[in-house]
Structure formats: C-alpha cells, structure tokens
Amino acid sequence: MSKKTIFDDVYSIIENEYIDIINEKKVLMKKGIFSLKLHKPVKSIFIYNSLNDMMSLKCIELRKNSQLITDDYLPDYKSSIGKLHKKSPRNSIRLNTSFKPCMFITEKTTKDSWVRFYFDEPVDADTLVIHGRVDSIWYRRLMLLTTNVEFEDGSQECIWNQMSFLDELSEKIAQKMCTIQSEYTDLEKLKYAAGICLRGLLEIYSDFEKYFLHGLSIGLDKVEILNSINSLAKGNKLHYSPGYGFLKTFEFWSEKEKYEYLKSAAQVVYFIREKYPLTFFYGGSLLGFVREKDGFIPYDHDIDVLCVVSELEYKNHKDFYSELMPYLENKGVEICSLTTVCLHVKFHSLKFDVFAGLADKDGGVSAYPWHWGRRHNTSYMFPTIDINIMGIDLPIPKNPFTFLDVHYGKNWRVPIDKNFGLERLDNI
C-alpha cells in the first residue's frame, strides 16, 4: 500500500469541507458562464483569459436587476490590433454582444489573450455576465484569469482574479488543516498542496509549470507533486507530460476516437506517399503499433510520420518542408505550424506531426532527433510493410524491430514510467 502524502491529506479536507465551493465553480466553468457584480456605471471592461486552458470568449452581457440591457446593436468594429488568426481576424474572439455600441481591442499571444470593451456612454448595470465557447472538444470550459472594469468616475477595479481566488482558498484550507491535524505545521507547504489540488480539481493549468518550481523550492518531492496533479487531472481525462503540458492522452480516447484518428492519419500518409513514396509511421506511433495491444501507447497523444527523401534533391529539411506544405494544402490538409523539429498539420480537425529524413548516397538518414549524426539506415526501412491496426493498413519500416532497437535502444519492449521526461521540469 502506497504511503499517504500531504496532497492526499489536503485533498481529504477539500472533499469534506470545500467541495460545494469547488463544484459550484466547476459547473460555471463547464457551462462557460461567469457572473460578476458591478456597483457603478461602467465605462470600459478588460477581460484576460488563458488560451492554454482552452477558453474562447463568446459574448458578454450587461444586466440591471436581472434584466438584459440591450439596444439591439452589435459592437462597432473600430479598432483591432495584435496577433490575430490570419484567416478570420475578427472571428478569433467572437463577440455577440447586444447593447450600446462599443469599441473593442483584442490581442493574442501564444499563451494568453485579452479583450477590452470601450463604451460610447457609461452603462448603468449591476452584473457583468461573461460567456465562453464550450461547445467543442477544443473549448471545454471558461478559464478566466482576470477581469478589470473602469467606472464612470474614472476609478478602476479588479472584479475577478483567478490567482487571488486560488490563493485565498488555499490559505483557508491550509489553516483548517493546521487546526485539525497537529502533525502539519508548515503552513506554506500546506497552502501549496491545497493550490495543487485546487488546480487539478478545477482544471486550472495555465501556471502549473511555474507553480511546480515553487513546490521544489519549498522542499516538496517532484514525483509526489506530479502524481498528485495527475491523479486529479485523470478525473478530467487529462495527463501532465513533462515538457508537453496537460494533454488528453490515448488512455482517455474512446475506441471510436482512436479509429477515426487512425483513419485520418492513413489518409494523410496516403496523400504524402503519392508524391513521396518513402513515407511511414514512426517514433511513438510505430512503438505503439508494435508493442501495445490496441496499437496506442496510453501516455502518448499524437501520431508521427517520417518522410525520407534524398539530400541530393533537398539542401536541408526546411527546403523539403517548403515543397511539402503547399502540396498538402492542395489536398485539403491544414498547415498548423513549422518548427525546427517537424511540421504540425491538421486533417478532419485532427493533428499529426510530419518529420523529414534526408538520406545520403549510402542510405544514412538524418532526421530529428539525429541532427548530430545518421543513426538510421534505409536498408531496414524499405520497402515498407503494412501493419493492420483496428482494420486499417498502415505502412511501417521493413524491419520495425531493428528500427526500434536503433531508435529507442534494446529495452523498447518494456514500457517506461508514464512520467518519463521528468528531468525536463528541472529546466523550466
């Protein structure tokens, strides 16, 4: 039987004393609704949210005595700045507001987004209702970081701060713990443990890596922290992978979802092989196909594809990708991003990673993560063979066992701990 940790004990307190508060907040987040009180006429509203936590602002409402204030006007799109989605800049943050015309300014970064509303005239309301887009697998909850308002008299007030809410509730839980369990005397560690549990229960992960480091600085064990957050995240069908963040890993996918994913992946590979025939499933995908009963590593989350081309035709990997991208777009495959590692693509709303391998005249293949040398060779790759997973034929290397020996080492048949890569957190 595993030893109980400080996180287990704190969670018990939350379950017994504070679960009603948690459930109320959770219901609001799942419904995508936040209702915030106002006490003076409003001149502008500033809303800051986390894109990492899959929140998309849908609309806001201003109410007075529970009645919606409306003049049946849409916002006046006078100014829009920042890094917005190329294809539909105005729809990146959809606003269906229906009260007095206002100007809004939005900005997106890779992690967070904000939107500010300026009203032509102060709006006399007692409640601000913020609605988030929670109607798809990508936007599952309303994750609001802060909301500030400017009143008619020029004064400003923060009417919601997610971190303050977590800190205040963590403090209460820690103090409660000290009064009922005398063996715990370190209030800071108790507050931290409560913060971890609250983040797991409420699916608040935007600051987890920073918060994780704080736990190490006060002497808590990194494996205990990680196991605690994952035991809570599991209830939300998520898993924290060091270096990757919180993901819906394959252990939480239904059989139908896995089948549709494989079917789409097979179609993408078919497109690629029409032009680049030396293409196959590799990396963690190949490992799952060969080792796992259902073909999926439980703690993996995506499918990897390798395209092998001659270095006589392409100077480098980027040269190859520049030709591949327009070709895939013509096939209806969306290009998400190109990194120094691989090409991220999407097909039927499902994401895949496409890697490039440059082969020299002797068959040595250079591909990530082998930039420093040619570890693989085409002699055991081609011609490819098919492996059947869930009734779908998928191309893999001619000798997958040799490939995996070289790629992962001789022990690839033995699954490693799902917390692999834990050392990455030391470098955050």
Please report the DSSP string for 203-219 in residue order.
T--TTHHHHHHHHHHTT
Compute the distance between CA of residue 334 and CA of residue 24 in angstroms, rounded to an integer. 39
143 and 277 together in one domain: no
Most confident stretch, 65-74, 119-128, 394-403:
394-403
For residue 347, pLDDT beyond 70: yes
Residue 108 lies in a domain: yes
Residue 243 lies in a domain: no
What average pLDDT does the segment 49-76 reach? 61
Of the residues 236, 260, 276, the one at which a domain ends:
236
Tens-digit pLDDT profile for residues 279-313: 999 999 999 999 998 999 998 989 999 999 998 89
415 upstream amide cis, omega within 30 of 0: no
> Residue 389's pLDDT is what?
96
The total number of structural domains in the chain stands at 2
283 and 206 together in one domain: no
332 and 277 together in one domain: yes
For residue 376, pLDDT beyond 70: yes
Mean pLDDT (the chain, rounded): 79
For residue 342, pLDDT beyond 80: yes
Tens-digit pLDDT profile for residues 86-125: 222 332 233 333 333 333 444 444 445 667 777 777 888 8
Helices marked H in 149-254 — which ranges? 162-180, 187-202, 208-217, 222-233
Of the residues 180, 204, 236, the one at which a domain ends:
236
Between 307 and 372, name the one with better pLDDT. Answer: 307
CATH number, residue 340: 3.30.460
269 and 219 together in one domain: no
What average pLDDT does the segment 254-271 reach? 96
Hey, how many other C-beta atoms are within 10 angstroms of the C-beta on 213?
A: 13
Residue 5 lies in a domain: yes
For residue 152, pLDDT beyond 50: yes
Instruction: Name the residue with tokens 């020299």.
Output: 360
Residue 33 lies in a domain: yes
Compute the distance between CA of residue 100 and CA of residue 3 in angstroms, rounded to an integer. 59
49 and 133 together in one domain: yes
pTM, 2 dp: 0.68
Give 418's pLDDT tier (boundaries 50, 70, 90). Answer: low
135 and 80 together in one domain: yes
Domain that holds residue 392: 250-427
Residue 22 lies in a domain: yes
Tens-digit pLDDT profile for residues 189-244: 999 999 988 887 887 776 777 788 888 888 888 888 888 878 877 877 888 776 66
For residue 419, pLDDT beyond 80: no
Residue 242 lies in a domain: no
Of the residues 183, 209, 236, the one at which a domain ends:
236
For 225, phi and psi rounded to 5 degrees? Answer: -60, -45
394 and 279 together in one domain: yes
206 and 106 together in one domain: yes
Residue 245 lies in a domain: no
5 and 125 together in one domain: yes
Residue 241 lies in a domain: no
Residues contacting residue 33 through CB under 8 Å, at least 6 positions apart: 129, 130, 131, 132, 142
254 and 402 together in one domain: yes
Name the residue type at position 294: D
220 and 259 together in one domain: no
269 and 135 together in one domain: no
What average pLDDT does the segment 38-49 reach? 84
> Residue 354's pLDDT is what?
96
Name the residue type at position 187: L
